[in-house]
Amino acid sequence: MLKHTLAAIIFILVLTSSTIASELRIFFVDVEGGAATLIITPAGESLLIDCGNPGKRDAERIHKVATEKAGLKAIDHLFITHWHLDHYGGAERLRALMPIHHFWDRGIPETLPEDAKNFPILIQAYKAAGGDKSKTLKAGDEVPLKQLEGAPKIKLSILSASGQVVKDKPGAPENPIAKQHQPRPEDPSDNAKSLGFLLQFGDWKFLDLGDLTWNVEYKLVHPTDKIGKIDVYQTTHHGLEISNNPVVINTVEPRVAIFNNGSKKGCHPQVTGTLRRVPGLEAIFQVHRNVNAGPGENTEPSFIANEGEDCAAETVVVIVGKDAKSYSVQAGKNKAKDFKTR
């Protein structure tokens, strides 16, 4: 009898674990205008894209979401999009709070003139956190991920790195929307060298281009579209208007856009306006209300995770169903909204 009871308990635990892990989950952690996007694949593998600012606050917020909301004991993969402190500064502190198994980046430069004060200190801390064994990613790479048997395929592709973008596919048609591009002065900063990711789960697609800026964004859709139509768009560069080139947004035509902004950083009205003109856009979500925005320039309150500057650091959460045919998005404690995969 005891033997049968134990077998039944084990079966239930395995079944429950499998059911939970079969969904794709994405947590947009509130790091006050920095970046920290935590992805849990259907196979239970964890990917953290960027890790916020130096110090305790952001690392501890990420750790809390990872352990309490995502049920993790470790981060499998940490990806750093570029070398600005609001994206990689939290690595040392986070590594002290929980194991991180693999570190990925675009390659570590010898110097960073735009942040000569902080870079030498923070990059040594990053190297120490990763045991000086981070792996370099290039445009066109695909990160190997565990596949859950019976589930739709999951794939993480690198679209941009170090100012280069993935190559055009032979025979692909020219993108007519790219003709609307209005060039801007070249950006010499590390933003323009950001890693850019396309995550695919079955037919469902998520785009995260880090802090990539205007002219390099353009290369992703010119002369051909190298991205395709997407479901969820993490607004580039926290939603600043020096990024989020309209030719990219109008080419990929997101169904849902999510600003990983702060209360006084990102979510620029120009970007919100561009998104609202996209055919088929169903909702815009924000990690924070932009307290500097005018009337009507924020999204509707139920799609904002944190209303004020003094907040509880609520997350925006995306959950994609195990068949990848539908998904939900929830901002903080507000009611989740359901969507169909395009």
* Continuous segment of H or E residues that includes residue 119: helix 119-129
Quote the CA–CA distance of 229 and 191 in Å, as a whole number: 24
Using alpha carbons, list the distances in angstroms from residue 183 to 128, 187, 215, 218, 265.
40, 11, 6, 9, 24
Q: Which residues contact 136 (CB under 8 A, 6 or more apart)?
A: 104, 105, 106, 107
- Give strand pairing partners of 104: 79, 135
Q: What gap in Å lies between CA 119 and CA 214, rounded to an integer?
A: 24
pLDDT at 21: 57
Element (H, E) at 40: strand 37-40
Residue 294 has what pLDDT? 87
Residue 166 CB burial class (10 angstroms; 0-12, 13-18, ≥19): buried
> Cα–Cα distance between 83 and 10 in angstroms, integer?
45
Q: Global pTM?
A: 0.93
**Partner residues linked to 102 by β-bridges:** 77
Q: Of the candidates 235, 183, 246, which has an alpha carbon nearest to the alpha carbon of residue 210?
A: 235
Task: Give the right CATH number for 23-340 from 3.90.226.10, 3.30.450.80, 3.60.15.10, 3.40.50.300.
Answer: 3.60.15.10
Angle at the Cα of 87 from the Cα atoms of 299 and 111, rounded to 5 degrees: 140
Mean per-residue pLDDT pooled into runs of 10, the chain (342 residues): 45 41 94 98 99 98 99 99 99 99 98 98 98 97 97 98 98 98 98 99 99 99 99 99 99 99 97 97 98 94 94 98 98 98 96
Residue-range domain boundaries for the chain: 23-340
